[in-house]
Structure 1
Amino acid sequence: MELRYNVLSKREREKLLTILYGERNIEKNFTLLPEELKRVKSFGKPHWKLGYAIQLLFLKNRGVSIISNKELLSPKIVEYVANQIGCIPDCLQRYWDVKNIRFNHFQEICNILEFKKFEVTSKVETFIYNKVLSIGEPIEVMENLIEELRKIKVVIPALYKLEELIYKGINATDKFIFSKICEQIDNKNKLENLFLVENGVSNYSILKNIAVNNSPSGVKILLETIKTIDSYGKIIDLSFLTDSKIRYFYTEIQKSHRFRIERFNNLEKKYSYLAMFLSFKRREFVDMVIETTSNYAHTVMKRTKKKSQNYNQKNQERYKLNSGKLKDVVEYILQIKDIPTLKEYQSSLTELKKELDSTEEELEEIDFLLKSHQSFNYTNDLLECIEFDSNTKPNFINYLKSFKENKNKKKFKADISFFSYQWQKNIKKYDYSKKVVEIALLYSIRDYIRSGDIFVRESKKYNSFDHYLVDSIDEIIPDEIEVFIKNLKSNLIIPKKLDFQRIIEQDSKSNFGEKIYSYFPKITMTEILYEVNSWTGVLEHFYGASKSPENRQNVAVATLLANGHNIGFSKMAISASIDESILKRANEFYFNYSNLFKAQQSLVNYHHALEIVENWGDGKTSSSDGMRVPISSKTIYADYNAHYGNRGGGIYRHISDQYTPYYVQMLQGRDSNHVLDGLLYHGTELEIYEHSTDTAGYTEQMFALTHLLGFNFKPRIKNLDQQQLYAFETLEIDDIKFKKINEKIILENYFEVMRLVESIKCGKVKASLILQKINSYNRDNGIAKGLKEIGRIFKTKYILDYYTDMKLRKEVQKILNKGESINSVGRLIFFGKHGRLNESSLESQLEKVSCLNILLGSLIVWNSRYLEKVYKTVKDEEWFDDEEFKRVGPLGTQHVNFLGKYIFEDKIINTVDGLRPLKSEVQV
């Protein structure tokens, strides 16, 4: 049926139909209770029994009538229900042919279960309107609506009827939102200037693609850009929208190019999009200014400290050397007994005097900072563009406001008590010099932002801590804290004797895997993508790249390879014989993070459903690890790493125990900030419960949060034997001292900790953002202290388990090895430009590495299918070993050609199983 009101994609619609009518949880949803079985068996005819039972089970457990979609009915479900009744599944067709009987049965079932027929009422329309207003994605609205209908016991109608209602709800809410935004716009004609083109580039594109380095010049460019944005008029207030809806519009505008917005027929929508674009970009640039200033200040201070230490060290060495010479001179002079000899000796002391005169006093860091001529001359512009606020430092905020008024003064005679002791000392030393005060101001802004003492309301990353949390927890259970403490104590059981072992049994190495992979046919990455797409439809997420159906698949594959192999569009255009402009257009319009994320999900879900993945795990355990990549573009999202000897960033990837790379992101800060993101937001059918990281992903707060969010955290911690252990009382067992847990800190901060957990659970704040703030806050922050104290309990429990359980140690090592192996294959695939990223924004970097993740996922899916085929072929061979085969992972690459000419041809494989033939001979 052709849909008139289309708000869901084909894949989203299929997903919902699978949930409503598919085979998921057959035993749970399609097992008849004794009283139900009794009623079913009361019917005389077998097809009545079976038809009634299936209608009953679908309405009771899925909330739907199977009659309207009986073509989706799984034979497996029919067989399962028929076996309970004791009849033949084939008899069901006779039931569908008798309209009156099945209708009467359905009416009876509705009466028994108290289900009502679906009707479009004002209550339903209001529910949909409110959901659309608060939720961004239509699929989420649909899922909420279906859940609500189940809750109030209304039969879920055909999806196209619900899509029509959601479509109308979207139009109504859009009209409200766009009208409210347009009311705030000062001058709509000014917004049209964003479309103006100069030197081939529009003002819109300039703002969208701006990139700067960590330097004062970079900050100045950003501040000038903020002023340019302000010149378009007052920035709109979007506080009337929910965070979810704001994220939805942010994603929509990120996907939108100038031409799309310019062609909007609805003027209110066009101006609203432009106004939101300016609002989002201003917030982004404010964050970039703060981040760049902080990074630059940190770099300057680090270099200054190092240089001053080197200078003072050399000065000290010279001083010691000259002191030794002076001591010798004094001794010699004391031995001189006549004046002529003394006068003669004076001439030989000239050189020593010069050396002594040249020895300077030691320089403090501030002296060397001023001497190095580092520039921070943008403070006035910064304070003009960014308004800081504080709940704890009102005097500092007042000083920031007054600073602009004193911009022409050479010296600032003002209260400086809000500066740190060291900066107060520096300011006084240089008699309130403007330059020193200005440097102190910028460093203090950086420190107070990091500690949470000051914030910026118009910022995404640097707003007040309360801004990211829910107002309060809905339900407060009596004695909740006492119960919580009691549960913590029950979790931590200290053995009377500690027998610590760290031995990890290693599986013996063999060439069994190579033998298995020798059966694999030779193939290119291009062919893998076409074949995997024929199974999963993964490329459908990028269709639209070409109007021609036969060409759009080629364009999607070429764009995906250009990004995933990191070879760029110009080289791919030559290899693929596709115009470079077409590839760039496809990349800009269709390879956005939203589509890439959905494509990754489809690969993960398909792979998870394969039988062979049970060899490697149940999909409930995962690990995460960073993969360092050099970054050569002009960007603030890169740092220098002495260990790797380059300027770059980190790809942080989550991998399931089934080898699936199910989530990827770009690192900002420490690895541990990003661990929860993959666990919470992957959106796949994996049900991850246990998670492992290396030391970089571990903190005591992470132990607390993973527990409170329902995960079991199992990291590999460096120097484990040096970790402090804790108990609820001071203990010493076998010379190992246990510190006492501070219950008072947990009690004092319990509700704030729970508020934080609830904020992460409900999506009010992204886990990585709030963790980045918590980890940078000072030690007095209550939530940070509370989390740390709770985390120490679970860290101690884990360490005790790790030392005493060899199986646990092996499991952790095994899952982390899988992650490291996938990173190795990732480096092999990401071979272009020597593995360097050239993208400047985090969004474009993430889009590039998401393409890499899709290539990884496609390779793993393809290998897994062919491992299944090899198994069927060789399982009865004498040399074959089932246990050895279970250890063969889907990461083999020796049969894949990643290089060479790319030939784009979708070949039909005419075999019984739809797979390529295996190689006839085994290469031992």
Structure 2
Amino acid sequence: MASIERTAYPRFKRNPLAKELDTLYTPTEDELKFAYAVSRKESSRFSILLLLKAFQRLGYFPSVENIPHAIVQHIRTASGISHEVSPVYAELKTLYRHHQIIRQHLNVAAWNDNGLRVAGDAMAAAAEVMDNPADLINVAIEELVRQRIELPAFSTLDRHSRRIRTLVNNRIFETVLTRLSPSERKELDSLLEIVPNPQKKSLFFTIKQLPKRSSLEHLQELLDHIVKLADMVGSDQHLASIPYAKIKHFAAEAKALDAAELKKFAPPKRYVLILSMIHRARIQARDDLADMFIKRINQIHRRGKDELERLRIKYRQKTEHLVATLADVIDVLETQPEDEAAGRTIRTLLTKRGGTSALQDDCAAINAFSGDNYFPLLWRFYRSHRPTLFRMMRLLTMTSTTEDKSLMLALEILLKHEHRKSVLIEETVDFSFTNERWKRTVLEKTEDGELINRQHFEVCVFSALAGEIKSGDVSIRGSEAYADYREQLLTWDECEPLVEDYCNQLGFSKNAQAFVISLRDLLANVAAEVDAGFPDNKALGLNQSGMPILKRSTPRESKASARALEAALLQRMDERNVIDVLCNVAHWTRWNRHFGPLSGSDPKIENPGERYILTTFTYGCNLGPAQASRHLRGAVTPHMLSFINRRHANTNKLNAALKDIINHYHAFELPKLWGSGKSAAADGTKFDIYDQNLLAEYHIRYGGYGGIAYHHIADTYVALFSHFIPCGVWEAIYIIEGLLQNSSDIQPDTIHADTQGQSAPVFALSYLLGIKLMPRIRNWHDLVFFRPDRETTYKHIDVLFKDVIDWELIETHWKDLLRVVLSIKAGKISSSTLLRKLGNYSRKNRLYQAFRELGRVVRTIFLLGYISDMELREQITATTNKVEAYNGFSKWLFFGGEGVIADNDPEEQEKVIKYNDLVANAVIFQNVVDQTRILRLLKEEGFPVNREDVATLSPYVTGHIKRFGDYIIDSNAVPEPIDPTLPI
């Protein structure tokens, strides 16, 4: 049976708050008249009002005896009914008559065969793409409510959802079974058998193989893995017509199982799970191969640059020798006016300095490595990769996503000459895919004309290929991260009906010309206003060169009253350990209800809620199952903790648990004194991980191998969403995605970030999505301000403007820009995927150029406000300081395992970060509960408590939190009830 707690099926709250009672259960005048019209008996009127208000809240009729006492008493008092009157039905006939009267009054149809059909149709449609019974039940509830049909008992919906899911899945399983030949079925079964190898693992285990860190050896291993996956049974034909969401769910279920567990499934389902796993493994392997290829090419270039620097150092002494020789030659020419005498002296001088031949060799060597052209040095580092990269090209199918096919044609020529031994080849190549420096390196002048140096040509083509795969100008068939993003976008025919509503929602003009005109006017007006106000602007000044400079604000010291309030609070904070905090917050918010088997069934383990709390503590504090089990005094084994994490928790469940805590947190008054919830800040912090995985990279700033936990923190201090990304990735691509993925009640429309958030494409995309991007910018002088047109000049700030906006480019691609945004809104493509393509310079991609041009407009408008408004800069700094404080706070709670994430699986690494967010948000929630209680007590005692001082507080206090020692859980302990609506 599906857990009712994981569905939207309405139920009474155990302890409704006074505000909820007033809002939901107070009868109106019309409702009192309705009850009086139905029956003049007080007991009967009371029963009708109870059923009416209960039905309005639940959508079905509960038993009168099951209505909570607090609700009964509230309706009794609000209706003026005597305390001696009891809501009891002596006859069922009367109860059913009242049910029918209430349905007619509310214009709601009774649950019958029509309701069963409506719910069944909704579930059947959803079951084609969903697999969790709780999701199917929620879809049915939504449709029944929309069509104003009474909800049935939960058990009815649960049985119906299971039956429909079984029918839909069995149809899928049987369809796939008929597509499999007997030999293919036998091959799939053989994957689950232990093979004679040192690891004594099944071939199914090898399907889950994770890529190791980027190296030539591991690149070769990954290619071998791709070949093995290709040779396994299973093709697109076997899974044809199955929705991709279903395939992903089946693959996730298979990944959580081992071979022995899979054997217990019936053959049809077993085969679909294995085929889905193989299908997803092939896609992931291609993504991993592209990542590793890009990293290897970057490494080759790094080694080339390092070699160039080494040669410069090596030849520095020779350079100094040549310069000294030239100085002596010049001195001879100045002191000896006769050419003949000077010539003899110079020849003698050059002989003493090594002779003309040696000096010419030195000049040639230095000339070869002058400037920054390290391209001729790359061959020696590329040569060892050559066979592997050519093998990769034969395994992958790549296509150009632009009209420019020059790189694809060059690639064909490269493959044609794979086995040539001669260095020079005679071919006609269009080098428009690369730059002039590469062209000079590749082409050599000979007696037969200009020929291509094959060695340099290979490095050139593979370098360009890595860059265009990264920018999205080249796609990989069968990949996901590097697929053709154009195929993921909505067509313009699909977008056109949505344009008007979307533009009205965001206040945009509905056609390209009007959109550009309004944007140009906005830029011109803002620039003119800043220029006119410059003389009186206390936030701006001029340096000796006439360049505007930002004036610093005076640091604000905290008031003595604020410090006294903080000290009083800290003194009264109760000592708590992390597990107690998780238990308390679970009792108040029921965040652990989202954990459970991937099948959606009720967990079949003892004390599941307690196990989920212990698992969250184990992984959120990075203790690991073995270490946590030791400190839990045998309350749970390491296997139990590992099993819960593997089989009952994933990123979606963790996000849902976080959402519950955030929503309850947002109901408190105290956080609203810290921020409105309309702005958030994004920033990353490094977590150490082992280097034997593809995500690990060496972080230059922090040192050591690791990944970046990229957090989105609300201005109310709570963590909204987090990603775990490689150190080398451009963090800005995740700025918008975190807001779009956040589904909590806190919905910021302004996002602050560090300097990385100032990219023009990010400004453009955030603007089109209705998000205000306001990053903290350190070197703003290095950014280009753009004029609205060439004729416009400014009296005070003209020196800032270096270029002009290409309005024609934006107008031409207005439809393309809207198509991208509407596709993101529809969930067809993620903003991070798109920005990964748009975050890399592409001269070919006109969409990138249009986004960049629009971003230049938006960024210039922001920069003008940033430099002229000191309060805005202070607000940005204050909010970004909160995310930096959260980074330290969450790491303080990540105290186990020396702070190193031990798992090499990227999915598990992401889960660990979300576990840590869950623990951190729980502690933040508990701190706000305690601070609210203490503030009310202080005020009752006469302690001076004012809003300004309270606004300086923070929930990131840790002095009262116990992290170490033996951990004891008592999930049955009931904490004091909380009422977030009460004023402080």
> TM bucket by the smaller chain?
0.7 to 0.9
Q: Give the match for residue 420 of structure 2.
A: 409
Q: Give the match for residue 844 of structure 1.
A: 908
Structure 2 counterpart of 1:11, one-letter code: E
CA deviations over 1:497-541 (Å, ceiling 9, x no partner):
335426377461525323311212333334433444444444555
CA distance in 2: counterparts of 1:626 and 1:760, whole angstroms: 24
Q: More displaced, 375-384 or 807-816?
A: 807-816
Q: CA deviation at 1:476?
A: 5.8
Q: Give the match for residue 64 of structure 1.
A: 59
Q: Give the match for residue 893 of structure 1.
A: 958
User: Is 2:908 the counterpart of 1:866?
Assistant: no
Structure 1 counterpart of 2:376, one-letter code: D
User: Is 2:430 the counterpart of 1:366?
Assistant: no
Report the 3-state secondary structure (helix = DSSP H, G, I; strand = E; otherwise coil) of the residue aligned with 1:635.
coil
Alignment of 1:451-530 (within 5 A): 451-471=471-491, 472-473=494-495, 475=497, 480-481=510-511, 484=515, 494=526, 496=529, 497-499=532-534, 500=537, 501=539, 503=553, 506=556, 508=558, 510-530=563-583
Gaps of 5+ in 1: 1-5, 916-924
Query: CA 1:292/1:339 → structure 2, altered by over 3 Å: closer, same or farther?
Result: closer
CA deviations over 1:753-807 (Å, ceiling 9, x no partner):
2222222122222221222122225155344344444445544554555566665
Q: CA deviation at 1:635?
A: 1.9
Structure 1 counterpart of 2:714, one-letter code: S
Q: CA deviation at 1:593?
A: 2.6
Cα contact 1:50–1:87 (8 A) shared by 2: no
Which of 821, 838, 858 matches 1:774? Answer: 838
Cα contact 2:684–2:710 (8 A) shared by 1: yes
Report the 3-state secondary structure (helix = DSSP H, G, I; strand = E; otherwise coil) of the residue aligned with 1:389.
strand
CA deviations over 1:312-336 (Å, ceiling 9, x no partner):
4653662352242255368669799
CA distance in 1: counterparts of 2:777 and 2:59, whole angstroms: 50
Report the 3-state secondary structure (helix = DSSP H, G, I; strand = E; otherwise coil) of the residue aligned with 2:191.
helix
Q: CA deviation at 1:655?
A: 1.8
Query: CA 1:652/1:70 → structure 2, altered by over 3 Å: closer, same or farther?
Result: farther
Structure 1 counterpart of 2:953, one-letter code: V
CA distance in 2: counterparts of 1:381 and 1:644, whole angstroms: 36
CA distance in 1: counterparts of 2:349 and 2:832, whole angstroms: 73
CA distance in 2: counterparts of 1:89 and 1:18, whole angstroms: 24
Q: Give the match for residue 661 of structure 2.
A: 603
Q: Give the match for residue 687 of structure 2.
A: 629
User: Is 2:397 the counterpart of 1:387?
Assistant: yes
CA distance in 2: counterparts of 1:718 and 1:458, whole angstroms: 42
Structural RMSD (CA): 4.3
Q: Give the match for residue 695 of structure 1.
A: 755
CA deviations over 1:259-284 (Å, ceiling 9, x no partner):
332321x2111111111111111111
CA distance in 1: counterparts of 2:456 and 2:440, whole angstroms: 11
Which of 622, 631, 638 matches 1:575? Answer: 631
Cα contact 1:633–1:839 (8 A) shared by 2: no
Structure 2 counterpart of 1:717, one-letter code: I
Gaps of 5+ in 2: 446-450, 501-508, 540-550, 980-984
User: Is 2:707 the counterpart of 1:672?
Assistant: no
Query: CA 1:350/1:722 → structure 2, altered by over 3 Å: closer, same or farther?
Result: closer
Cα contact 1:746–1:786 (8 A) shared by 2: yes
Query: CA 1:678/1:89 → structure 2, altered by over 3 Å: closer, same or farther?
Result: farther
Query: CA 1:660/1:331 → structure 2, altered by over 3 Å: closer, same or farther?
Result: closer
CA distance in 2: counterparts of 1:513 and 1:848, whole angstroms: 32
CA deviations over 1:181-204 (Å, ceiling 9, x no partner):
445556122223332333233333
Cα contact 2:10–2:58 (8 A) shared by 1: no
CA distance in 2: counterparts of 1:72 and 1:773, whole angstroms: 56
User: Is 2:280 the counterpart of 1:260?
Assistant: no
Report the 3-state secondary structure (helix = DSSP H, G, I; strand = E; otherwise coil) of the residue aligned with 2:463.
helix
Q: Give the match for residue 890 of structure 2.
A: 826
Report the 3-state secondary structure (helix = DSSP H, G, I; strand = E; otherwise coil) of the residue aligned with 1:375.
helix
Alignment of 1:557-576 (within 5 A): 559-576=615-632
Report the 3-state secondary structure (helix = DSSP H, G, I; strand = E; otherwise coil) of the residue aligned with 1:623.
strand
Q: CA deviation at 1:625?
A: 1.6
Report the 3-state secondary structure (helix = DSSP H, G, I; strand = E; otherwise coil) of the residue aligned with 1:875.
helix
Report the 3-state secondary structure (helix = DSSP H, G, I; strand = E; otherwise coil) of the residue aligned with 2:111.
coil
Q: Give the match for residue 547 of structure 2.
A: none
Q: Give the match for residue 982 of structure 2.
A: none
CA distance in 1: counterparts of 2:751 and 2:621, whole angstroms: 29
Query: CA 1:71/1:750 → structure 2, altered by over 3 Å: closer, same or farther?
Result: farther
Query: CA 1:590/1:134 → structure 2, altered by over 3 Å: closer, same or farther?
Result: closer
CA distance in 2: counterparts of 1:602 and 1:340, whole angstroms: 92
Which of 443, 454, 458 matches 2:463? Answer: 443
Structure 1 counterpart of 2:263, one-letter code: E
Q: Give the match for residue 192 of structure 1.
A: 189
Q: More displaced, 158-167 or 853-862?
A: 158-167
Q: More displaced, 434-443 or 167-176?
A: 434-443
Cα contact 1:53–1:81 (8 A) shared by 2: no
CA distance in 1: counterparts of 2:933 and 2:555, whole angstroms: 31
User: Is 2:783 the counterpart of 1:717?
Assistant: no
Q: CA deviation at 1:105?
A: 5.0
Q: Give the match for residue 302 of structure 1.
A: 302
Query: CA 1:859/1:337 → structure 2, altered by over 3 Å: closer, same or farther?
Result: closer
Query: CA 1:339/1:654 → structure 2, altered by over 3 Å: closer, same or farther?
Result: closer
Q: More displaced, 395-404 or 746-755?
A: 395-404
Cα contact 1:196–1:202 (8 A) shared by 2: yes
Q: Give the match for residue 506 of structure 2.
A: none
Q: More displaced, 854-863 or 460-469?
A: 854-863
Query: CA 1:112/1:790 → structure 2, altered by over 3 Å: closer, same or farther?
Result: farther
Which of 872, 877, 889 matches 1:813? Answer: 877
Q: More displaced, 772-781 or 626-635?
A: 772-781
Query: CA 1:124/1:402 → structure 2, altered by over 3 Å: closer, same or farther?
Result: farther
Identity %: 19
Report the 3-state secondary structure (helix = DSSP H, G, I; strand = E; otherwise coil) of the residue aligned with 1:473.
helix
CA distance in 1: counterparts of 2:307 and 2:743, whole angstroms: 49
CA distance in 2: counterparts of 1:680 and 1:92, whole angstroms: 52
Report the 3-state secondary structure (helix = DSSP H, G, I; strand = E; otherwise coil) of the residue aligned with 1:776.
coil
Report the 3-state secondary structure (helix = DSSP H, G, I; strand = E; otherwise coil) of the residue aligned with 2:305.
helix
Q: CA deviation at 1:351?
A: 7.6
CA deviations over 1:118-142 (Å, ceiling 9, x no partner):
3445565343212211345444433
Query: CA 1:313/1:163 → structure 2, altered by over 3 Å: closer, same or farther?
Result: same
CA deviations over 1:637-664 (Å, ceiling 9, x no partner):
1333322233322101122233222311
Query: CA 1:528/1:758 → structure 2, altered by over 3 Å: closer, same or farther?
Result: same
Cα contact 1:452–1:777 (8 A) shared by 2: no
Q: CA deviation at 1:228?
A: 0.7
CA distance in 2: counterparts of 1:427 and 1:341, whole angstroms: 42
Alignment of 1:124-523 (within 5 A): 124-185=119-180, 187-197=184-194, 198=197, 199-236=199-236, 238=239, 240-264=241-265, 266-312=266-312, 315=315, 318-325=318-325, 328=328, 348-350=352-354, 354=358, 357-358=361-362, 360=365, 361-363=367-369, 364-372=373-381, 375-377=384-386, 378-391=388-401, 392-394=403-405, 396-397=407-408, 400=411, 406-411=417-422, 413-417=426-430, 419-420=433-434, 421-429=436-444, 432=452, 434-471=454-491, 472-473=494-495, 475=497, 480-481=510-511, 484=515, 494=526, 496=529, 497-499=532-534, 500=537, 501=539, 503=553, 506=556, 508=558, 510-523=563-576
Structure 1 counterpart of 2:755, one-letter code: T
CA distance in 1: counterparts of 2:85 and 2:355, whole angstroms: 112
Q: More displaced, 95-104 or 213-222?
A: 95-104
Q: CA deviation at 1:844?
A: 1.9
Cα contact 1:312–1:362 (8 A) shared by 2: no
Aligned positions, number: 903
Q: Give the match for residue 542 of structure 2.
A: none
